[in-house]
Structure 1
Amino acid sequence: MRFIYWLRLQLKKSFDRIRNENLKRNALTAIPFWIASIITGLAAVLYTKLFLAAENLTGYIIGRHNWLLFILMPLCFLIAWWIVKKMSPYAKGSGIPQVMAAIQLSSPGKSEKINRFLSVKVILVKVMSSLVMALGGGAIGREGPTIQIAASVFKIVYGVLPKWWPKIAKRNMIVTGAAAGLAAAFNTPLGGIVFAIEELTKTHFSYFKTAIFSSVIIAGLTAQALLGPYLYLGYPKIDNLSPYIFSGVLLVAVISGLLGSSMSKLILVIFAWKARFKFTYHHVIYVTGCAVIMAGIAFFIDKGILGSGKELMQTTLFTSSKYSVWYTPLLRIAGPLLSFTTGASGGIFAPALAAGASVGSLVSGWFHLSDANSNLLILAGMVGFLTGVTRSPFTSVILVLEMTDRHSVIFHLILAGMVASLVSIIIDKHSLYDHLKMQYIKELDHQEEQEEMPKDIEEENIVTDKVNDKEK
């Protein structure tokens, strides 16, 4: 009996020891995610405030003197482009393709490549360039840059961990950082999680689901603690919907999906054309031209081409100005085209949502729909256009639902996302982000080949010299 009692006691001690060790290991594994999430939340809040301040200052300047656009926009566009070109070329654009490329390259021995996409330098350049673009009235968003900033924060935290710390997959850190960044930028925790699953990773979600859940929550709560609980857009009126509104949703989904994928295709065509530029002054002329065209349109036609487009979304959803004029979608497509292709920093998430909202608003005006039905078509357009760009229908649906808290129309929006995803294939089988990701990886490989060539030539010369010396 004593032996059995002793054996039970030893087994209990062993079990407690194992359990405590597992607890300790789990806690140590979680701590880097929590620290990075808090930093991400703080960074997202600071970036948001700076971005809004830049947009408000632009509005103030334009409100006083419209003609200043012809000076302000070319100057800001050129500075924003120059900052990226000289300091960190892979801080350009949205940031989401760079994160996707970093995830694909997150295998041992490729740290130097990942540093080109995610680093302290990238964060600083991303913020500076995008703020200058926002000050210049560029049609850009802050959400994509926030994702690259957040992924960089998580990667930096990963890099400072001591060697004795429990091993954490770098890929998981980057994916979790991107999800936390989206959650903090839009205040959409579910959107961050779905974005990580649908857009960023193909691995089995269960391997790091706890890390994503906790990081998204912590980053979101940190942002909320400083900004307060808020919806990105608000609570649009959606009640007493027509039983035939599904036909309107289908029409808007088809139009917005085709337009979103067409805009993406045009961006890729422009990038391919710009790749032929041989001299710096070619880029200077192009960037200046984009700024002057946007300033001209804003001055002579409509200021709606400027900025991220959030004001348009709020106007169509919450005021009596429900119906957009026929050229508004064209302006909301032209703005991101001219801004995004300059090579400066700036996202395309918010501009895509605004373009989709203008499509829904325009279609609702064709049929003179009620406020509630118009609001639904506006939301469907937002989902459809963003899906046309990203090919992530569920992420688009969840983002719009969380930005408006209108879960009663989830089936309408899922329909819009799925239809937009299907029709987008007519224009291109792959998303804009997929194309840019592969383009960045190829550029990086080409650069490394160019950097290694002088070394190879030098080694060949050394060998040749030795052979000649022996022959002599």
Structure 2
Amino acid sequence: MSERSFRQSMHLRWHRIWLPRLRRRALFLVGGVVVGIAALVMAFVADFAIDTFAHWQRQWPYMPLLVTPLGFAGLSWLTKRYFDGAQGSGIPQVIAARQLNDLKRKGGLVSPVLAVAKMALLAAGLFAGASAGREGPTVQVGASIMYWLGRFAPHRQPGLLLAGGAAGVAAAFNAPLAGVVFGIEEMSRSFELRTSGLVLGTVIVAGLVPLAVVGDYTYFGRSDIALSVVSEWIWIVPITALCGLAGGAFSRLLIAFTDGLPGRAGRWIAANPVLFAAGCGLGVALCGVLTQGSVFGTSAEHAKAIMAGEGAPIAFGPLKFLATLLTSVSGIPGGIFSPSLAVGAGIAELFADIAPVPIAALTIVCMAAYLAAVLQAPITAFVIVTEMTGNHALIFPVMLGALIASFTSKLVCREGVYHALAKRLLARGEKAPQ
């Protein structure tokens, strides 16, 4: 081969093979940085909204009875009228979008407009007292960012939505391993060898952004508590089974409202979504007033207090369950990750004086169990709670609790809530007029 032919061959190889590969890798890494920044912004805004509402509520204890119903009604109308696709946590939208080939339909579930709207509407909901979290919405925002960046690639890139969603979880919780596991178990339910390295790289970069800004931290602080007595282990079985039934009931009810209740009640809700949202807001406000405001927002601080043995208001767990359900069925944007962890902590509080188990250990196990029951993704729940508490001494009890809860949840609801809602989004699109 002549020198000229060799140069031409290398030139073609560079442009056809190596340059596209470099662009692809750069796309995922840049996307990780952007998703990390977006997650950080959402965290700051969400915390500010929650703190501001809590301050107002302390000044005027009955303010939520007016503000929360009006806020829910306005957000329901605004979301349905202008930002359809931004409802709820956003994770079902990402799961559904990954299964679509129609770019128009996919863009209706993940897009820059929805990402911005999701961030703004979530903040507004927290300002109004919604029992919601930011982690699920961060998944939709992350996937939307990656989907938009994919437009700058020369060819369609597989794994963008998966990488964006997984990076969103990692950055939101400061839990990179949880992001990877969530992407495999919950979003894809398979291991995609072609994109595994790129997804991992995106998750790492997204996780490094908040780490660089706020430093290393665990969501619920660090705990070294352990279970060393057999009698303590025995109590884990019935309590986590109860967590499983509660989580299954939550999923079953949320899916039922999404499908539409039967009879006159279902027809009225379908015809009056804004009034229904206002009624949900009033229910959340009543739960908040009865618990001195503890069920508003994520309730993460109250979960920490329970873990520390400081207790919680009476009926915190059941009323947090109800407030989160009402927020979720109202149609306003908001996630269920953090609220679910708080419900799990509330269930632990119910047994604090009965079970001879250290309250910190029981809280950690119940948080993982209830989350596993709602998602029916025990590995994701176990990894997330372990990373969020920094506790490795409870690995086996937490794993056992997550497995038991996931199994008992299936007795009430056959499928995890995210995948069930994603199927309904896909079915709704198929029935829509073309």
TM-score of the two chains, using structure 2 as the length reference: 0.92
Distance 2:117 2:11 in 1: 50
Displacement of 1:48 after TM fit?
Answer: 0.8
Give yes or no for contact 2:227–2:394 (8 Å, CA) kept in 1: no
Match of 2:310 in 1: 321
Give yes or no for contact 1:62–1:69 (8 Å, CA) kept in 2: yes
Distance change (3 Å), C-alpha of 1:96 and 1:44: same
Distance change (3 Å), C-alpha of 1:336 and 1:376: same
Distance 1:241 1:279 in 2: 51
Distance change (3 Å), C-alpha of 1:253 and 1:173: same
1:196 matches 2:188: no
1:158 matches 2:150: yes
- 138, 143, 153: which one aligns with 2:130: 138
Displacement of 1:144 after TM fit?
Answer: 0.3
Greater alpha carbon shift after TM alignment, 202-211 vs 15-24 = 15-24
Greater alpha carbon shift after TM alignment, 389-398 vs 82-91 = 82-91
Report the count of equivalent residues. Answer: 429
1:408 aligned counterpart, secondary structure: coil
Give yes or no for contact 2:97–2:110 (8 Å, CA) kept in 1: yes
Give yes or no for contact 1:183–1:189 (8 Å, CA) kept in 2: yes
Displacement of 1:136 after TM fit?
Answer: 1.0
- The 5 Å alignment of 1:432-451 reads 432-447=417-432, 449=433
Give yes or no for contact 2:317–2:343 (8 Å, CA) kept in 1: yes
Match of 1:400 in 2: 385
Unmatched segments (≥5 aa) in structure 2: none
Distance change (3 Å), C-alpha of 1:325 and 1:72: closer
1:304 matches 2:299: no
Distance 2:318 2:198 in 1: 41
Displacement of 1:22 after TM fit?
Answer: 5.5
Distance 2:395 2:355 in 1: 23
- 164, 171, 179: which one aligns with 1:184: 171
Match of 1:461 in 2: none
Identity over aligned pairs, percent: 25
Match of 1:468 in 2: none
Greater alpha carbon shift after TM alignment, 242-251 vs 116-125 = 242-251
| 1:225-257 deviation line (CA, Å, top 9, x unaligned) | 122221111112404633322112212210111
Distance 2:236 2:198 in 1: 36
Partner amino acid for 1:342?
Answer: S
1:233 matches 2:220: yes
TM-score of the two chains, using structure 1 as the length reference: 0.85
- The 5 Å alignment of 1:259-278 reads 259-273=246-260, 276-277=266-267
Partner amino acid for 1:282?
Answer: N
- The 5 Å alignment of 1:66-145 reads 66-105=61-100, 107=101, 110-145=102-137
Partner amino acid for 1:153?
Answer: I
| 1:159-188 deviation line (CA, Å, top 9, x unaligned) | 232xxx35522xx11111100010011110
| 1:118-174 deviation line (CA, Å, top 9, x unaligned) | 00111122112211110111100000000000000000000232xxx35522xx111
Give yes or no for contact 1:28–1:166 (8 Å, CA) kept in 2: no
Partner amino acid for 1:432?
Answer: V
Give yes or no for contact 1:304–1:331 (8 Å, CA) kept in 2: no
Give yes or no for contact 1:391–1:421 (8 Å, CA) kept in 2: yes
Unmatched segments (≥5 aa) in structure 1: 1-5, 453-472
Displacement of 1:89 after TM fit?
Answer: 1.4
Distance 1:29 1:230 in 2: 31
Match of 2:238 in 1: 251
Give yes or no for contact 2:235–2:355 (8 Å, CA) kept in 1: no
Greater alpha carbon shift after TM alignment, 254-263 vs 69-78 = 69-78
Distance change (3 Å), C-alpha of 1:444 and 1:396: same
Give yes or no for contact 2:111–2:148 (8 Å, CA) kept in 1: yes
Partner amino acid for 1:286?
Answer: F
Give yes or no for contact 1:237–1:375 (8 Å, CA) kept in 2: no
Higher Cα Rg: structure 1 or 2?
1
Displacement of 1:446 after TM fit?
Answer: 2.3
1:174 matches 2:164: no
Greater alpha carbon shift after TM alignment, 341-350 vs 305-314 = 305-314
Partner amino acid for 2:229?
Answer: S
Match of 2:50 in 1: 55
Distance change (3 Å), C-alpha of 1:89 and 1:300: same
Partner amino acid for 1:230?
Answer: Y
Distance change (3 Å), C-alpha of 1:84 and 1:20: closer
Distance change (3 Å), C-alpha of 1:64 and 1:278: closer
1:403 aligned counterpart, secondary structure: helix
Displacement of 1:203 after TM fit?
Answer: 4.4
Distance 1:408 1:23 in 2: 46
Displacement of 1:265 after TM fit?
Answer: 0.7
CA RMSD of aligned residues (A): 2.5
Distance change (3 Å), C-alpha of 1:149 and 1:301: closer
Displacement of 1:307 after TM fit?
Answer: 1.7
